[in-house]
Structure 1
Amino acid sequence: MALADAVRLTCPDCGQGNRVPVDRLAEGPKCAVCGAALADGRVAELDAATHDKATRNDGLPVLVDYWAPWCGPCRMMAPEFAKAAKALAPGVRLMKLNTEDHPQVSARAGIRGIPALILYRNGREVARLAGARPAADIVAFVRQNLG
């Protein structure tokens, strides 16, 4: 397997970087260290360090939902975000970052209101979407911005 045939995926549970063959993404790859699923269509909760590794280093696009537990629209959007994660897997990974627990990350990302979605690809921000959205809008936003 050539390096071009594999993507790097950061484990949302332990932060370990994993090389995954592109043609095996749909098979449900697991972290080599902790065994957590890497691209199974579930939304992963991130801490600050894992957020930084995934958004900078991952070979697949990452859509991060910046949210807080006290935010009503954030809580209302959570099931829609989960539906979008299933629809976009395994080619895009959807993750969440609690802005209350990690204010330094949200400040660095320039988050002014929540919920806020930021799409990252190849270590760079590609696009932003503000406000609570239904799954169809989230999927359309990602597809439109990834081409």
Structure 2
Amino acid sequence: MRVVCPVCKSVNNVPQRDSYKKANCGKCKSSLLDTKPIELTNSDFDEVVVNSDIPVIVDFWAPWCGPCKMMAPSFEKSAANFPLKALYAKVNTENEQSLGARFGIRSIPTIIVFKDAKEVHRVSGALDEAALNKTVAQFL
């Protein structure tokens, strides 16, 4: 399966397994098991979503948004539950207004699940870790 490196954003081919002890990027040698959400911009959004065979979970947020700040720790904790099963990403709609407009983001936070480069699910409003886990698990 194709997996995008969370550090250098290069595409890696990884054998599909139930769990992994070790998986490193072929280009930068960073661990592909790093679950920290990556920041996406207009310049790399399409490349990451199109080249990922695992679901890409995107949080559209803004730094001034209270519910976004409240949900951020839950989003990171949820990401830790799905190494090489789902790629978590964030889009700052303040900086990336064109992406917010392209996806019709009307309220934040909004979570969009992309699978096979297509939007398959959307939910607006802050979610706790359990709700995020349940949402993501549906698309694995």
Would the TM-score normalized by the shorter structure come out above 0.5?
yes
Equivalences, count: 140
**Which of 104, 122, 130 in structure 2 is aligned with 1:128?**
122
Deviation at 1:57, TM superposition (A): 2.0
Q: Which runs of 4+ in 1 moved over 3 A?
A: none
> Structure 1: 5+ residue runs without aligned partners?
1-6
Cα-to-partner distance string for 1:69-117 (whole Å, 9 max, x where unaligned): 1111111100000111112223112111111111111211111111000
Aligned mates of 2:88, 2:77 — CA distance in 1? 10
Aligned mates of 1:49, 1:36 — CA distance in 2? 22
Q: 2:24 aligned with 1:34, yes or no?
A: no
**Which of 55, 66, 82 in structure 2 is aligned with 1:61?**
55
Please give the residue correspondences for 1:76-91 in structure 2 after superposition, counting only pairs within 5 Å: 76-91=70-85
Q: 2:53 aligned with 1:20, yes or no?
A: no
**Which of 79, 94, 103 in structure 2 is aligned with 1:100?**
94
Structure-1-length-normalised TM-score: 0.85
Aligned mates of 1:25, 1:68 — CA distance in 2? 33
Indicate the structure with greater helix content.
1
**Which of 88, 96, 111 in structure 2 is aligned with 1:117?**
111
Indicate how the Cα distance of structure 1 residues 109 and 66 shifts in structure 2: closer, same or farther if over 3 A, else same: same
Aligned mates of 1:104, 1:57 — CA distance in 2? 21
Identity %: 39
Q: CA RMSD in A?
A: 1.9
Would the aligned equivalents of 2:6 and 2:34 in 1 still touch at CA under 8 Å? no
Greater mean alpha carbon deviation, residues 44-53 or residues 21-30: 21-30
Structure-2-length-normalised TM-score: 0.88
